[in-house]
């Protein structure tokens, strides 16, 4: 049926990209001046007059369809030989995340691919339905300085983000600051030197750096989430350069994440979560599981979190010393999840009345009968809270909220 | 030097859009609110003004609970409206 899309001018590129992806690049789009959110309803209403002619034209006059374009296979291009000139050129081509990239020459890409079938399609990636073939993945990996040994982890992570429950299109295009966090489990972490100990989410680890960054470059160059255009992040976060760690299985008092999810301990997996940056939990004083919950649950229970109103499966990263204290009180991982879920709550009265009205509109089943004292949990149920152990010595843990309308996915690494 | 391009786009299809209406007179204008703040306010206002100007029969509202998920009610909308206004963005 004849339709017109209404939006705001700040989001023109996303409206156009979304229409094109659905094979409708000629879809009529009518744009009012940004914003619509956070303004009085009368102000939003008044914006209607300015687009009336355009909307009527969109419903009553057939637009001309543009010509279709063929899929682009692997393409060799001529680039500057000089490395500094190459950087400038690569940025102009929009190939990079802003950090220097290495030239993806035929020899370097061939070395990463080895005997693998270059044209194997690993995933189709939103928002632009880009074709993540092994070849395209290897080209992007080569730009980060990854080696052939890193490719299986990168490939498994890309299979995982393409699964429907991950909701990649929304993760790639939202204004919320989220990006796939990669959690690696199993023997491959040690073999490749993927850090899960001191500074695991920080700098200093080649494998963490190149694996996370290669996934990001594929999402940008193949998926088509270009910052400020299809990727509409208001602020973004530093993990969008690279966001990868291993679980510290040696210091985990419970079963590691992949075993909890039905894999064998000697299998290797990567789990992807649509994650915010880590929010630190400092607790140097507590010596029991119960007393430590004040800091851990208190860090999670905040009014600005997507998980408080959209649920999803947010992550708790316990530092090994905090994990040892909690397990030392006799708690299983399940006990921890239950207690965390009981305590990590925000009373509805802490939200502005405008937000409460909005929650009632968007999620009537949860908020219709809620009063000021109603406590909102950080996830729908205790099982949805993800818990891993990572980091080195010290009294810190982290809460990693997610986009909310996404579920984490664990994929076996074929190596 | 020769380097591989890191891009790998799929084929860009061009589908046919539904034929537009000659006029909106006597037709029902559907509104699909994506639940973003004030989206419904703007969409309904545009629909009301259009109906008044064109002699459309009326406006019928629909909503989807989250802008982050596809709508599951497209068939319902197609059955009960002749044209539809929808939205994206904040």
Q: ipTM of this predicted complex?
A: 0.91
Query: Which of B2, B7, B69 is the best substitution to test chain A (most A C-beta atoms within 10 A)?
Result: B7
Average pLDDT, chain A: 95
Residue A31 has phi, psi (to 5 degrees) of -120, 135
Spatial separation of the C-alpha atoms in residues B35 and A320, rounded to whole Å: 42
CB atoms within 10 A of CB A284: 9
CB pair distance less than 8 Å for A7 and B87? yes
> What is the CA angle B31-A38-A401, rounded to 5?
95
- What lies within 8 Å, CB to CB, of B79 at 6+ separation is none
Chain A residues within an 8 Å CB radius of B53: 52, 56
CB pair distance less than 8 Å for B13 and A39? no
Spatial separation of the C-alpha atoms in residues A336 and A347, rounded to whole Å: 21
Distance from CA of A80 to the nearest CA of B (A): 6
pLDDT for residue A282 is more than 80: yes
Mean pLDDT for the stretch of residues A269-278: 98
Query: Which of A5, A6, A8, A91 is the best substitution to test chain B (most B C-beta atoms within 10 A)?
Result: A6
pLDDT for residue B89 is more than 70: no
Chain B residues within an 8 Å CB radius of A105: 1-4
Mean pLDDT for the stretch of residues A107-118: 97
- Give this prediction's pTM: 0.90
Weakest mean pLDDT among A53-57, B31-35, B80-84, B86-90: B86-90
Minimum CA–CA partner of B79 in chain A: A1
- Per-residue model confidence as pLDDT tens digits over A288-345: 999 999 999 999 999 999 999 888 999 999 999 999 999 999 999 999 999 999 999 9
Mean pLDDT for the stretch of residues B48-60: 94
Query: Which of B3, B13, B41, B52 is the best substitution to test chain A (most A C-beta atoms within 10 A)?
Result: B3
A146/B12: higher pLDDT: A146
Q: For chain A, give the percent of residues with pLDDT over 90.
A: 87
CB pair distance less than 8 Å for A72 and B85? no
Distance from CA of B83 to the nearest CA of A (A): 5
Distance from CA of A94 to the nearest CA of B (A): 10
Q: How many CB pairs under 8 A join A and B?
A: 233
CB atoms within 10 A of CB A113: 19
* SS3 assignment, position A123: strand
Q: How far is CA A262 from CA A14, A250, B73, in A?
A: 38, 19, 36
pLDDT at B88: 64
């Amino acid at each position: 049926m004849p339709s017109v899309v209404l939006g705001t001018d700040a989001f023109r590129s996303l409206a156009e990209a979304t229409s094109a992806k659905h094979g409708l690049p000629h879809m009529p789009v009518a744009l009012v001046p940004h914003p619509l959110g956070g303004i009085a309803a009368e102000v939003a209403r008044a914006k209607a007059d300015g687009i009336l002619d355009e909307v009527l034209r969109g419903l009553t006059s057939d637009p001309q369809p543009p010509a279709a374009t063929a899929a682009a296979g692997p393409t060799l291009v001529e680039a500057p030989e000089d490395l500094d000139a190459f950087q400038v050129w690569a940025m102009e081509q929009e190939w990079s995340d802003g950090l220097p990239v290495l030239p993806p020459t035929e020899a370097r890409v061939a070395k990463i691919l080895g005997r693998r079938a270059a044209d194997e399609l690993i995933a189709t990636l939103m928002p632009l339905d880009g074709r993540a073939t092994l070849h395209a993945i290897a080209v992007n990996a080569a730009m980060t300085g990854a080696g052939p040994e890193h490719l299986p982890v990168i490939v498994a992570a890309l299979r995982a983000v393409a699964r429907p429950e991950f909701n990649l299109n929304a993760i790639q295009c939202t204004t919320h600051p989220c990006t796939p966090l990669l959690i690696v489990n199993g023997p491959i972490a040690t073999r490749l030197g993927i850090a899960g100990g001191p500074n695991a989410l920080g700098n200093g680890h080649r494998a963490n750096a190149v694996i996370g960054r290669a996934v990001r470059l594929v999402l940008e160059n193949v998926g088509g989430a270009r910052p400020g255009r299809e990727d509409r992040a208001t602020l973004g976060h530093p993990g969008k350069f690279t966001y990868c760690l291993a679980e510290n299985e040696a210091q985990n008092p419970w079963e590691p994440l992949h075993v909890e999810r039905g894999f064998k301990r000697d299998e290797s997996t990567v789990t992807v979560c649509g994650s915010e940056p880590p929010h630190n939990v400092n607790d140097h004083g507590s010596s029991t599981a119960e007393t430590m919950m004040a800091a851990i649950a208190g860090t999670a229970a905040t009014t600005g979190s997507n998980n408080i109103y959209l649920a999803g499966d947010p992550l708790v990263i316990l530092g090994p010393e905090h994990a040892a204290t909690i397990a030392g009180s006799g708690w299983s991982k399940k006990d921890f999840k239950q207690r965390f879920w009981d305590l990590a709550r925000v009373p509805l009265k802490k939200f502005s009345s405008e937000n409460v009205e909005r929650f009632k509109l968007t999620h009537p089943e949860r908020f219709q009968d809620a009063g000021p004292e109603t406590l909102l949990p950080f996830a729908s149920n205790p099982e949805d809270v993800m818990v891993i152990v990572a980091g080195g010595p010290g009294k810190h843990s982290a809460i990693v909220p997610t986009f909310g309308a996404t579920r984490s996915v664990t994929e076996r690494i074929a190596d | 030097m020769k380097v591989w391009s890191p891009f790998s786009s799929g084929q860009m299809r061009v589908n046919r859009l539904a034929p537009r209406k000659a006029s909106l007179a006597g037709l029902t204008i559907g509104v699909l609110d994506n639940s973003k703040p004030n989206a419904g306010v703007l969409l309904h206002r545009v629909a009301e003004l259009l109906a008044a100007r064109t002699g459309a029969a009326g406006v019928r509202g629909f909503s989807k609970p989250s802008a982050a998920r596809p709508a599951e009610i497209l068939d319902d909308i197609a059955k009960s409206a002749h044209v539809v206004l929808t939205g994206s963005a904040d």
